[in-house]
Amino acid sequence: MEFLDEDLQRYAEDHTSAESELLHKVNRQTHLQVLKPRMLSGHLQGRLLAMFSQMIRPKQVLEVGTYTGYSALCLAEGLQPGGTLHTIDKNDELENRVRGYFADAGLTQSIKYYLGNALDIIPSINATFDIVFLDADKINYPTYYDMVFDKVAPGGYIIADNVLWSGKVLEKYRKKLDEDTLAVINFNKKIHEDSRVENILLPVRDGLLVARKL
């Protein structure tokens, strides 16, 4: 997932605003206590998501893939007063931890946390989103995109994580073309060819694809 030279990565982080005390706690506890901590957005990407949110000032945000709540906390930083962040995850084993972090942030009224299959939950959310953040199973990225598109406000943003897939979108970085890699490649192609959006793929961490609905 790391494409920059390690020293350059550290330099970039050293010249990026620090995590809050709570985000640092989430980051550290996730790495110490939770399986697959690499799924966490982390410092650099988290500050980028927070900055996007601060610039856009969303009223409604949808996140597909909560994990331990780090990215949700970052995206919530730019919410308008009275705004809501909806976040969906299927791992109920992390529920108490995640709800605790949201409570520590004073965001229990601003964040709606859903447990279950996003394919079932997304249609039930009656909202128009200013930001959608996809960070869940890659196989369903195209389906999530299609499901949320009409729910995104004109000028709104869909952001997808892991679109470089540890470099495996390029043949020279993979041993075989597995199902997940093919799904990411097809998703990137789908967005790039969608005339309803303008898009940019940022080589930050494992890749962020940002699409603005026209």
Contacts of 177 (CB under 8 A, 6+ apart): none
In a domain, 177, yes or no: yes
Percent of the chain exceeding pLDDT 90 equals 93
- Dump pLDDT digits (tens) for 6-62: 899 899 999 999 999 999 999 999 999 999 999 999 999 999 999 999 999 999 999
Which pLDDT score, from 0 to 100, does residue 5 have?
84
Tokens of 106: 């004073």
- Compute the average pLDDT of residues 133-157: 98
List % helix, strand, coil for the chain (3-state, nearest 5).
45, 20, 30
In a domain, 36, yes or no: yes
Question: Burial of 151 by CB count in 10 Å (0-12 exposed, 13-18 middle, 19+ buried)?
Answer: middle
Domain that holds residue 84: 6-213
φ and ψ at residue 163, rounded to 5 degrees: -85, 0
Q: What average pLDDT is seen over the chain? A: 96
pTM over the 0.75 mark: yes
What number of other Cβ atoms are within 10 A of residue 102's Cβ?
24
In a domain, 1, yes or no: no
Question: Burial of 87 by CB count in 10 Å (0-12 exposed, 13-18 middle, 19+ buried)?
Answer: buried
In a domain, 110, yes or no: yes
Q: How many domains does the chain have?
A: 1
CATH code: domain of residue 50: 3.40.50.150
Question: For residue 212, is pLDDT > 90?
Answer: yes
What band does 2 get if pLDDT is binned at 50, 70 and 90?
low
In a domain, 33, yes or no: yes
In a domain, 209, yes or no: yes
Which pLDDT score, from 0 to 100, does residue 6 have?
86
Element holding 65 (H helix, E strand): none
Question: Burial of 165 by CB count in 10 Å (0-12 exposed, 13-18 middle, 19+ buried)?
Answer: buried
In a domain, 178, yes or no: yes
What band does 1 get if pLDDT is binned at 50, 70 and 90?
low
First to last CA, the chain: 31
In a domain, 201, yes or no: yes
